[in-house]
C-alpha cells in the first residue's frame, strides 16, 4: 500500500532522507520510530503529497507521488504534528467545514460528520469551541477530520505527543479500531514502547536511514535484549544463583538487593528455546523455596537504544 524506493530528500546540503526503502502492506499498522530530526515528518509529508522527493520514488496504493497526487489524495488522511487553530468554530462546524472541502454534500456530509463524531467519541463535544478543547480531544478531532472522506491510508505524525497517559490510551484504542476496520496506518513516534502494542510492524529511522524494519519481536531478537526473569528465594540467594548459572540457555544471573530484599535477576537468550518453567524446577529439586517469580516486560527502550547507537548491524 505504501512503498518507497531509494527515497531521498535534501534541504540544501542537508540530507534529511537517505535512500529510504519502505514497504507497508495493506491493513498494516506500521510504527515509524526515530529520534528528533530523524526524518519522520519529512517522509510523512512526502507520502501526504505535500513535499517532493529530491530523488527516488514513493508510491501510495500503486500511484506515484509527485505525478499522480490528485488520485492519491482521496485515499489518504494526514494528521500533521501540529494542528492549526480554528477559533470561533464549534466541533461540528469544524468537521462540516472539512467535509465540504473534501467535496461531500448535503446528506452525505451530514452522515459523515455524524459517523466520525461517534467513532471518535466526540459527540458530547459537538457544540464545544474547537479552541477550548484539551490536547487529547483536539487530537481526536484531527483524526475525526481525516476520516470524513473514508481514506484507505492514515498518516499520523506523532499523534500522541503531549498527551497524558489516559488520552494516549484512548488514541491507541481508536487507532486499533481503525486498523480493525481495514485502514492501513503509518504512525510516527520517538517512543518505541508506545507503538509496540499497537503496531503490526515497525521501522526505525535515524539520520534519514532506515536501520530496521520488521516485526517488534524481530527487533528484540536483533538487539539481543533477551528476556529477564526476577526470582526470590527464602534464603541462600547466592547459592541459588550459582546453580542457575550452570543452566544452559541462561545468559546471565545476578543477585540484586533492593529495599533490603534480595532477588535474582536472570537473563535468558532471546533466541534460545529455553523454557522458563525450568527455573523453578531446578531450584525446587535442590531444596530452594521460591517466594516469587516474575517475568519482566521485555525492554524495548533498550532495544531501541542499541539499534540507534549502531551497536549492531
Ligand X SMILES: Nc1ncnc2c1ncn2[C@@H]1O[C@H](COP(=O)(O)OP(=O)(O)OP(=O)(O)O)[C@@H](O)[C@H]1O
Binding interface with ligand X (CB under 6 A): 11, 14, 16, 34, 36-42, 190
Question: Least distance in Å: CB of 123 to ligand X?
Answer: 32
Q: Reduce the DSSP state of residue 201 to 3 states and report it.
A: strand
Distance of closest approach, residue 225 Cβ to Mg ion, in angstroms: 26
Cα(140)–Cα(83) distance, integer angstroms: 11
**Binding range to Mg ion, per CB under 5 A, among 12-20, 38-46, 173-181, 281-289:** 38-46
> Shortest approach of ligand X to residue 167 CB, angstroms?
19
230 vs 109: CA distance, rounded Å: 56
Which listed range, 35-43, 51-59, 141-149, 261-269, lies at the site for Mg ion (CB under 5 A)?
35-43
* 100 three-state secondary structure: helix
**Shortest gap between Cβ of 158 and Mg ion (angstroms)?**
6
Q: In whole angstroms, how close is the CB of 85 to Mg ion at the nearest point?
A: 19
In whole angstroms, give the CA distance from residue 156 to residue 300: 21
Residue with cell 529495599: 259
| Segment lying near Mg ion (by CB under 5 A), choices 32-40, 108-116, 220-228, 271-279 | 32-40
CB of 34 to ligand X, least distance (A): 5
Distances (CA, A) of 180 to 59, 91, 183, 285: 23, 26, 7, 47
Instruction: Pick between residue 116 and residue 163 the one whose CB is nearest to ligand X.
Output: 163
Q: Which C-beta is closer to ligand X: that of 195 or that of 266?
A: 195
Q: Strands 184-189 and 23-24: what pairing?
A: unpaired
Residue 43 as a binder of Mg ion (CB under 5 A): the answer is no
Give the single-character DSSP code of 203: E
From the list ligand X, Mg ion, none, pick the one residue 80 interacts with, judged by a Cβ distance below 5 to 8 Å according to partner type.
Answer: none
Closest to Mg ion by CB, 81 or 115: 81
Q: Which of 41, 138, 213, 299 binds Mg ion (CB under 5 A)?
A: 41
Q: Which of 36, 313 has the CB closer to ligand X? A: 36
What is the chain's Cα-based Rg? 24
Q: From Mg ion, ligand X, none, which one binds at residue 16 (CB under 5 to 8 Å depending on kind)?
A: ligand X
DSSP secondary structure string for all residues of 37-81:
TSSHHHHHHHHTTSS--SEEEEEETTEETTTSHHHHGGGEEEE-S
Alpha-carbon distance 198 to 19, whole Å? 27
Where does this chain bind Mg ion (CB under 5 A)? 40-41
Amino acid at each position: 500500500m505504501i512503498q518507497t524506493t531509494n527515497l531521498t530528500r535534501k534541504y540544501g546540503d542537508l540530507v534529511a532522507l537517505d535512500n529510504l526503502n519502505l514497504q507497508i502492506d495493506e491493513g498494516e499498522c506500521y510504527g515509524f520510530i526515530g529520534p528528533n530530526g530523524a526524518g519522520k515528518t519529512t517522509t510523512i509529508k512526502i507520502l501526504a503529497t505535500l513535499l517532493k522527493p529530491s530523488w527516488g520514488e514513493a508510491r501510495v496504493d500503486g500511484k506515484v507521488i509527485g505525478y499522480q497526487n490528485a488520485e492519491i489524495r482521496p485515499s489518504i488522511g494526514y494528521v500533521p504534528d501540529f494542528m492549526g487553530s480554528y477559533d470561533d468554530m464549534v466541533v461540528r462546524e469544524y468537521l462540516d467545514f472539512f467535509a465540504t472541502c473534501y467535496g461531500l454534500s448535503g446528506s452525505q456530509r451530514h452522515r459523515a460528520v455524524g459517523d466520525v463524531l461517534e467513532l471518535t467519541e466526540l459527540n458530547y463535544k459537538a457544540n464545544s469551541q474547537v479552541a477550548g478543547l484539551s490536547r487529547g480531544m483536539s487530537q481526536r478531532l484531527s483524526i475525526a477530520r481525516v476520516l470524513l472522506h473514508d481514506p484507505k491510508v492514515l498518516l499520523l505524525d506523532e499523534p500522541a505527543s503531549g498527551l497524558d497517559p489516559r488520552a494516549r490510551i484512548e488514541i491507541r484504542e481508536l487507532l486499533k479500531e481503525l486498523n480493525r476496520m481495514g485502514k492501513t496506518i503509518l504512525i510516527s513516534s520517538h517512543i518505541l514502547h508506545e507503538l509496540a502494542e499497537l503496531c503490526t510492524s515497525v521501522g526505525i529511522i535515524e539520520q534519514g536511514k532506515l536501520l530496521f524494519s520488521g516485526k517488534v519481536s524481530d527487533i528484540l531478537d536483533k538487539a539481543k535484549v533477551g528476556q529477564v526473569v526476577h526470582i526470590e528465594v527464602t534464603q541462600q540467594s547466592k547459592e541459588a544463583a550459582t546453580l542457575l548459572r550452570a543452566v544452559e540457555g541462561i545468559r546471565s544471573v545476578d543477585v540484586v538487593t533492593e529495599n533490603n530484599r534480595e532477588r535474582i535477576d536472570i537473563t535468558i537468550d532471546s533466541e534460545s528455546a529455553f523454557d522458563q518453567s525450568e527455573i523453578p524446577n531446578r531450584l525446587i529439586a535442590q531444596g530452594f523455596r521460591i517466594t516469587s517469580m516474575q517475568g519482566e516486560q521485555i525492554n524495548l527502550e533498550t532495544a531501541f537504544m542499541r539499534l540507534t547507537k549502531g551497536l549492531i548491524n
